[in-house]
Amino acid sequence: MTEPPARRLLLVHAHPDDESINNGATMAAYAAAGARVTLVTCTLGEEGEVIPAELAHLAPDREDALGAYRVGELAAAMKELGVTDHRFLGGTGRYRDSGMMGVAQNHRPGAFWAADVDEAAAHLVEVIREVRPQVLVTYDPDGGYGHPDHIQAHRVAMRAADLAADPGFRADLGEPHAIAKVYWNRVPRSVVEEGFRGLADALPGSPFTAVAALADVPGVTDDERITAEAGGPAFGAAKAAAMRAHATQIEVSEPLFALSNGLAQPIFVTEYYELVRGESGAAPGARETDLFAGLGTEGMDQ
């Protein structure tokens, strides 16, 4: 049997498109470096809006076929990033997109926001004990911007990290595994402010006519909370191509993109993280430039 890659990264996201927006460059960088990159997406994004007019028929209030279509968009995005291991939590369609906070779909049977966290976490424990990642990436407690599926993905990911390590939990799901480092997706406020400063000048050459608010950028926090960065310009083209693959949700006109609200935002090719569990491998006060920093050979063999 061939040995699994030494470095194993697990990312947990709410909808098809979040992985490319938040971590596309990071995923491409580690895939290119031979690490095993595993993506778990919690819903199919069934309740999304649809940008291309010719695909409007897929919408939840028409054919309700958007989820199945976005499965294909996600597969195309993973090809652009070189990621071959992507799964849906509990199997394809197990949990449904809950819609934005406060809509009736939040309480629809099967909605991810209405799911039992421990039951959903058990599905993720099975993946964690199989893949045995040293690093986990997910959202902060607010899900980056308060979307119920993002908040729930955070809760399920953090709960699963605890349960996967517990030798008294569900031995049928595999040998216990403790994830060495857990990061939340973040964007430093100074980077957002800089990105938006130049944005108005880039609008004329783009298909966009209006600019998003800084508050629309998920995970914005004080610079001091950023402990790591990854990805980078070498993987900017792969990230943009992956975002473009999610054509029902994202319109890309590099260096900008817009979601279905049409409001332009900068594409961040360097991606930022806050280490919330485990030890930093960087010097005190410095940022890591590798999420696996400090794990050494012992960390790679887990």
Stretch that binds Zn ion, among 11-19, 238-246, 255-263, 267-275 (CB under 5 A): 11-19
133 upstream amide cis, omega within 30 of 0? no
Residues with Cβ within 8 Å of residue 240, at least 6 apart in sequence: 24, 252, 254, 257, 267
86 is in an annotated binding site: no
Q: Is 209 in the site for ligand LKMZNTP5 (CB under 6 A)?
A: no
Cα–Cα distances in angstroms (integers) from residue 173 to residues 211, 226, 292, in the given order? 47, 34, 25
Q: Is 229 in the site for Zn ion (CB under 5 A)?
A: no
Distance (Å, rounded) from C-alpha 283 to C-alpha 196?
A: 31
15 is in an annotated binding site: yes
Which CB, 143 or 255, lies closer to ligand LKMZNTP5? 143
Residues with Cβ within 8 Å of residue 14, at least 6 apart in sequence: 41, 42, 43, 112, 139, 143, 147, 149, 150, 152, 153
Q: Is 147 in the site for ligand LKMZNTP5 (CB under 6 A)?
A: yes
Q: Which does 97 bind (CB under 5 to 8 A by kind): Zn ion, ligand LKMZNTP5, none?
A: ligand LKMZNTP5
Structure tokens given for 25? 């460059």
Query: Nearest Cα to 214, choosing from 230, 199, 202, 228?
Result: 199
Q: Which of 84, 190, 260, 289 binds ligand LKMZNTP5 (CB under 6 A)?
A: 260
Stretch that binds ligand LKMZNTP5, among 34-42, 176-184, 201-209, 256-264 (CB under 6 A): 256-264
Distance (Å, rounded) from C-alpha 283 to C-alpha 7?
A: 21
Q: Which of 7, 15, 36, 177 binds ligand LKMZNTP5 (CB under 6 A)?
A: 15
CB 154, CB 147: distance < 8 Å: no
147 is in an annotated binding site: no
Amino acid sitting at position 147: H
State the nearest-atom distance from the C-beta of 147 to Zn ion, in Å.
Answer: 6
Cα–Cα distances in angstroms (integers) from residue 216 to residues 50, 227, 261, in the given order? 19, 22, 11
State the nearest-atom distance from the C-beta of 81 to Zn ion, in Å.
Answer: 17
Q: Which does 47 bind (CB under 5 to 8 A by kind): Zn ion, ligand LKMZNTP5, none?
A: ligand LKMZNTP5
Q: Which residues between 91 and 130 bind ligand LKMZNTP5 (CB under 6 A)?
A: 97, 99-100
Binding residues for ligand LKMZNTP5, per CB under 6 A?
15, 17-18, 21, 45, 47-49, 97, 99-100, 147, 249, 259-261
